[in-house]
């Protein structure tokens, strides 16, 4: 990839956003009081685009009641290097939502040093009610995840299909869902399930992780996902690090 090209997920997000109307459409959504899902997508789009001129609209969304909107407003502010957003983003490092705290921390690094890795912070132990719902149709993968995550203090539940995952999420209110993309014969199940989970009123605070060998990070984020991890082998340390990123105090 040429050095001036954006990361692959940004290219994917921009392709999706342009297919839905392009910059004028998403700029208008940022200026109006649209539903949280469309605002979140607009923030993701303008952040990936680096759309200067949207800074004020992005800053206004840092105060939005929906944590997904506040999170992606932090992302967009960081991508736009909006100095005027710095103070508000800093206050969001103490937000009640782990999702917002994580995005605010990363945005501040981008604002302070042009995109270097976030500094290490104290990683808290998961709370007693921090349930991870693992959605994977492979019993072997479920066992591998359990062997790594249980010693970290997480409670675990398991599902094997899209419908089972959504039913269990509605009943158990997990802290996070860890999913693959392909389940059985349905190779879009993870993406579709992510959209179902992120749009369900009772799951607004559930963090969604995807581990997949499919190059679908842009679509996953567009559908409401939080962290995409390439499934490139048996090592699960990247997943542990990503989970801990949401436990940083």
Q: What is the full per-residue pLDDT of the chain (249 aa) written as tens digits?
A: 334 456 899 999 999 999 999 999 999 999 887 899 999 999 999 999 999 999 999 999 999 999 999 999 999 999 999 999 999 999 999 999 999 999 999 999 888 865 455 555 677 777 877 899 999 999 999 999 999 999 999 999 999 999 999 999 999 999 999 999 988 766 668 999 999 999 888 888 899 999 998 899 999 999 999 999 998 766 789 999 999 999 987
41 and 93 co-located in one domain: yes
92 and 171 co-located in one domain: no
CATH number of the domain enclosing 60: 1.25.10.10
139 and 240 co-located in one domain: yes
For residues 232 and 213, the answer to whether their CB atoms sit within 8 Å is: yes
* Assigned domain for 126 exists: no
129 strand-pairing partners: none
80 and 143 co-located in one domain: no
* Assigned domain for 79 exists: yes
46 and 108 co-located in one domain: yes
What is the greatest pairwise CA distance in the chain?
Answer: 49
As a dihedral over the C-alpha atoms of residue 12, residue 17, residue 18, residue 21, rounded to 10 degrees, the angle is 170
For residues 58 and 80, the answer to whether their CB atoms sit within 8 Å is: yes
Domain that holds residue 138: 131-245
91 and 165 co-located in one domain: no
Whole-model pTM: value is 0.90
For residues 162 and 189, the answer to whether their CB atoms sit within 8 Å is: yes
* Assigned domain for 192 exists: yes
Phi and psi angles of residue 227, each rounded to the nearest 5 degrees, phi first: -135, 125
* Assigned domain for 1 exists: no
CA distance 167 to 103: 28
82 and 28 co-located in one domain: yes
For residues 10 and 44, the answer to whether their CB atoms sit within 8 Å is: no
CA 112 to chain centre: 22
* Assigned domain for 121 exists: no
CATH number of the domain enclosing 221: 3.40.50.2300
* Assigned domain for 123 exists: no
85 and 141 co-located in one domain: no
106 and 140 co-located in one domain: no
Q: How many structural domains compose the chain?
A: 2
* Assigned domain for 125 exists: no
* Assigned domain for 3 exists: no
């Amino acid at each position: 990839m040429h050095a001036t090209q954006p990361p692959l997920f940004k290219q994917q997000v921009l392709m999706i956003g342009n297919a839905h109307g392009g910059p004028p459409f998403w700029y208008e959504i940022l200026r109006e009081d649209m539903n949280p899902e469309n605002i979140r997508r607009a923030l993701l789009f303008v952040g990936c685009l680096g759309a200067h001129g949207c800074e004020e609209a992005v800053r206004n969304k840092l105060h939005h009641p929906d944590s997904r909107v506040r999170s992606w407003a932090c992302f967009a502010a960081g991508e736009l290097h909006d100095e005027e957003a710095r103070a508000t983003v800093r206050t969001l490092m103490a937000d009640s939502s782990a999702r917002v705290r994580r995005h605010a921390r990363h945005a501040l690094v981008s604002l302070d040093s042009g995109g270097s890795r976030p500094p290490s912070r104290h990683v808290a132990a998961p709370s007693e009610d921090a349930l991870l719902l693992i959605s994977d149709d492979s019993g072997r993968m479920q066992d591998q995840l359990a062997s790594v995550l249980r010693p970290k203090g997480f409670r675990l539940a398991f599902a094997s299909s899209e419908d089972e995952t959504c039913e269990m999420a509605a009943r158990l209110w997990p802290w996070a869902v860890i999913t693959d993309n392909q389940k059985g014969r349905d190779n879009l199940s993870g993406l579709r399930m992510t959209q179902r989970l992120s749009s369900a009123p009772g799951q607004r605070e559930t963090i969604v992780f995807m581990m997949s060998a499919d190059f679908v990070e842009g679509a996953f984020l567009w559908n409401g996902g939080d962290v995409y991890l390439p499934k490139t082998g048996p090592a699960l340390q990247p997943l542990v690090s990503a989970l801990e990123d949401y436990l940083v105090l």
